[in-house]
Amino acid sequence: MATIKTIAIIGASGNMGSSIAISLAKAPYRLLLFGKEEKKLRSVFKEIKLINKLVNAEVIGCAADASWEADIIIAAVPFAAEKELAEKIKQVATGKIVISISNPLNDTYTGLVTNADTSAAEELQNFLPHSKVIKAFNTTFAGDFSQPVIDGKTVDAFIAGNDEEALQTVSDVVRAAGFNPIKAGALAVSRTLENMQALLIQLSIKNNYNWVAGWKILHN
């Protein structure tokens, strides 16, 4: 029996954070939830308990404390809030996996605010030089988590990062959340992944996918 890993979800009261938390309710992890909207956080916690009465989960009142206790930290915050979060958790995130889920979109969703030679994930890695930043959950809409099988196919979820062991660990988390994990490559591949989601958002608006849509690689 393997030691249970603890996942801190920072931003668990947000759209993405709450969806990730709920999708992991039955997974073999200990979940620590932190979020700014207390009421929403309580209702997310209640929902998790409803899904799995025996869930090993807890609401924690401080992002740094939750991260200190965690093995894996999910930064479920918007791109603009990542720097501030990084400063809060930097001291306790050394050597730990930090998952970057954000897409640095501009206000009109027509493109990214990051330069072409970087990505939100790489910037987070710069803020947290001693952590293992992994890109994940950025190519999936919050709505996909409650139905990760669309049109009969399990949605692919791409992962990028520079540490092989960390990639495998996050791959397991992604699978536990219901998606089909695909290791896309080094952290710099996040530039492509973040642009892929920008495209999916643009197409969702244009074609009315109703925010339940995802990527699937068809292959033999």
Partner 1 sequence: MYEILIENIFKKIVLNNDEQQLLKTFFIPKKLRKKQCLLQEGDVSKYLAFVEKGILRSYTVDEKGGEHIAEFAFEGWWIGDQFSFLTGEPSTYNIDALEDCELLLLTKQAEEQMLEKIPKMERFFRLLLQNHLIATQGRLVSSLSNSAEEKYKQLVNACPTIPQRVPQHMLASFLGITPETLSRLRKQISQRK
User: By C-beta, is 61 or 95 nearer to partner 1?
Assistant: 95
Give me the amino acid identity at 212: V
User: By C-beta, is 91 or 147 nearer to partner 1?
Assistant: 91
Residue 218 CB neighbours (<10 A): 5
Reduced to 3 states, what is the DSSP secondary structure of residue 150? strand
**Piece of 64-72, 114-122, 177-185, 205-213 that binds partner 1 (CB under 8 A):** 64-72
User: By C-beta, is 92 or 105 nearer to partner 1?
Assistant: 92
Q: For strand 180-185 and strand 153-154, is the pairing parallel, antiparallel, or unpaired? A: unpaired
Q: Does 172 bind partner 1 (CB under 8 A)?
A: no
Total residues at the site for partner 1 (CB under 8 A)?
13
Minimum distance, C-beta of residue 128 to partner 1, in the bound complex (Å): 11
Q: Does 65 bind partner 1 (CB under 8 A)?
A: yes
Q: What are phi and psi of 96, to 5 degrees?
A: -100, 160
Here the tokens at position 52 are: 């799995």
Q: Does 3 bind partner 1 (CB under 8 A)?
A: yes
Query: Which one of 9, 96, 120, 122 is in contact with partner 1 (CB under 8 A)?
Result: 96
Give me the amino acid identity at 178: G
Q: Where are the beta strands (DSSP E) in the chain?
A: 5-10, 29-34, 57-59, 72-75, 97-100, 132-135, 149-150, 153-154, 156-161, 180-185
Q: Does 2 bind partner 1 (CB under 8 A)?
A: yes
Query: Which one of 130, 147, 199, 211 is in contact with partner 1 (CB under 8 A)?
Result: 130
Here the tokens at position 146 are: 């409650």
Minimum distance, C-beta of residue 107 to partner 1, in the bound complex (Å): 37
Q: How many residues does the chain have?
A: 220
Reduced to 3 states, what is the DSSP secondary structure of residue 138? coil
Residue 145, class by beta-carbon neighbours within 10 Å (0-12 exposed, 13-18 middle, 19+ buried)? Answer: buried
**Piece of 90-98, 152-160, 181-189, 207-215 that binds partner 1 (CB under 8 A):** 90-98
Positions that interact with partner 1 (CB under 8 A): 1-3, 65, 68-69, 71, 91-92, 94-96, 130
